[in-house]
């Protein structure tokens, strides 16, 4: 049976919306969000999303889902496409800036709308002729701290994916300590956001949660399964950013305007509930996160695997050569 009201009828004058979870999109004439370094912070300028295009590289959750469905075809970089892995793997300030240029601030210390401008060019595409530009500031220290917290959190997820016998209690403890140290600043950020919004932000971390995490980072190995500590920490983090539903795009965007951190922890929630084998590269010089593409994969790419084999080879070779040298010397004596 046909449903009343055909597709075309529904869409007269209303281009379809492709709702995505994103902070912004490039303003007309630009191909990424504009990011400028000003003192100790980043100034980010972008258009408020109008959700009219299906393909949006700046949609954080959309890109995560895309990476899930279709893993990388670039054989050199297996399973590093997902934006949450890109963030966790970011090395140094330049890579963090590249990330912000794609997806916007993680946590903005200010947000404002710029005067409305009219988009240049033809408007008969159904596109809105108006462009709403926004500007946010992201403190660089806070950005680095967020990356450290998220990296440690993802490491806990990876640790929970291991067999009991491989679970590294000491390394988990260090990660928990890093998380506890980092999120100690979240209440201050919450208060700052509340002041600017003139209402309570919908995410929140309690003092009790932070205290619990700090306490776990100092506790000795107890009688419970050691994995319980990591689970408690992940739950506390995830529960700070509740799963919310929004009746329309403006309300959703209102939630995200102070940064996409809630989206990072949405992904952490999914990874925690449905672990998809996130692993850390076994090459000790690399330690990058990657999504395991085949059983037993230990390295994030072919280069790391080769380096590791070469190191093993030289370790064995070195030992043999040393033994030969020692033997020769012994003979000469």
Name the residues that contact Zn ion, by CB under 5 A. Answer: 281, 283, 286, 288, 300, 304
Q: Taking the complex as a whole, how short is the minimal distance between the CB of residue 287 and Zn ion, in angstroms?
A: 7
Q: Taking the complex as a whole, how short is the minimal distance between the CB of residue 250 and Zn ion, in angstroms?
A: 42
Residue number, 177 or 286, with CB nearest to Zn ion: 286
Q: Taking the complex as a whole, how short is the minimal distance between the CB of residue 83 and Zn ion, in angstroms?
A: 19
Q: Taking the complex as a whole, how short is the minimal distance between the CB of residue 95 and Zn ion, in angstroms?
A: 15
* Distance from C-alpha of 84 to C-alpha of 203, rounded to nearest angstrom: 19
User: 3-state class of 25 per DSSP?
Assistant: strand
Residue number, 85 or 288, with CB nearest to Zn ion: 288
Beta-carbon-side half-sphere exposure of residue 16 (alpha carbons within 13 Å): 9
Residue number, 147 or 283, with CB nearest to Zn ion: 283
Residues with Cβ within 8 Å of 114's Cβ and at least 6 positions away in sequence, in order, are 45, 133, 134, 135
Distance of CA 289 to the CA centre of its chain: 11
Residue number, 157 or 300, with CB nearest to Zn ion: 300
Residue number, 41 or 283, with CB nearest to Zn ion: 283
Q: Taking the complex as a whole, how short is the minimal distance between the CB of residue 304 and Zn ion, in angstroms?
A: 3
Residue number, 47 or 304, with CB nearest to Zn ion: 304
Q: Taking the complex as a whole, how short is the minimal distance between the CB of residue 176 and Zn ion, in angstroms?
A: 24
Q: Which two tokens stand for residue 217?
A: 């980072």
* Distance from C-alpha of 187 to C-alpha of 184, rounded to nearest angstrom: 7
Q: Taking the complex as a whole, how short is the minimal distance between the CB of residue 236 and Zn ion, in angstroms?
A: 30
Residue number, 44 or 279, with CB nearest to Zn ion: 279
**Beta bridge partners of residue 44, listed in sequence order:** 35, 136
Other Cβ atoms closer than 10 A to 81: 20
Residue number, 76 or 327, with CB nearest to Zn ion: 76
Tell me which residue of 96, 95, 178, 157 sits closest to 290, measured CA to CA: 157
| Angle between helix 186-197 and helix 207-218 axes, rounded to 10 deg | 160
Q: What is the DSSP letter of 224?
A: S
Q: Taking the complex as a whole, how short is the minimal distance between the CB of residue 94 and Zn ion, in angstroms?
A: 19
Q: Strand (E) positions, the chain?
A: 34-38, 41-47, 110-113, 117-118, 130-131, 133-139, 278-280, 289-291
If you count them, how many residues does the chain have? 333
Q: Which two tokens stand for residue 320?
A: 């043999």
């Amino acid at each position: 049976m046909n449903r009343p009201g055909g597709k075309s009828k529904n869409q007269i004058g209303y281009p379809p919306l492709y709702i995505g979870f994103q902070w912004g999109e490039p303003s007309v004439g630009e191909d990424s969000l504009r990011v400028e370094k000003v003192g100790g912070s980043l100034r980010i300028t972008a258009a408020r999303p109008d959700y009219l295009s299906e393909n949006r590289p700046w949609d954080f959750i959309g890109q995560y889902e895309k990476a899930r469905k279709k893993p990388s075809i670039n054989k050199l970089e297996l399973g590093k496409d997902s934006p949450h892995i890109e963030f966790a793997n970011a090395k140094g300030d330049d890579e963090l800036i590249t990330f912000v240029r794609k997806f916007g601030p993680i946590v903005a210390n200010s947000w404002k709308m710029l005067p409305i401008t009219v988009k240049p060019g033809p408007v008969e595409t159904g596109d809105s002729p108006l462009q709403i530009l926004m500007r946010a500031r992201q403190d660089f220290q806070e950005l680095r701290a967020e990356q450290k917290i998220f990296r440690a959190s993802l490491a806990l997820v990876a640790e929970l994916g291991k067999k009991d016998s491989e679970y590294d209690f000491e390394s988990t403890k260090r990660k928990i300590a890093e998380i506890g140290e980092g999120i100690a600043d979240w209440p201050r950020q919450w208060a700052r956001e509340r002041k600017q919004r003139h209402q309570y932000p919908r995410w929140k971390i309690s003092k009790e949660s932070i205290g619990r995490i700090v306490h776990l980072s100092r506790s000795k190995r107890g009688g419970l399964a050691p994995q319980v500590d990591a689970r408690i920490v992940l739950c506390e983090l995830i529960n700070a950013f509740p799963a919310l539903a929004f009746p329309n795009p403006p309300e959703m965007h209102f939630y995200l305007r102070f940064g996409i951190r809630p989206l990072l922890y949405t992904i952490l929630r999914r990874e925690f509930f449905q672990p998809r084998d996130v692993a850390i590269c076994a090459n000790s010089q690399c330690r990058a996160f990657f999504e395991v593409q085949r059983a037993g994969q230990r390295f994030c790419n072919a280069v790391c695997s080769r380096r590791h084999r070469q190191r093993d080879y030289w370790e064995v070779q070195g030992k043999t050569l040393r033994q030969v040298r020692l033997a020769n010397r012994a003979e000469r004596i």
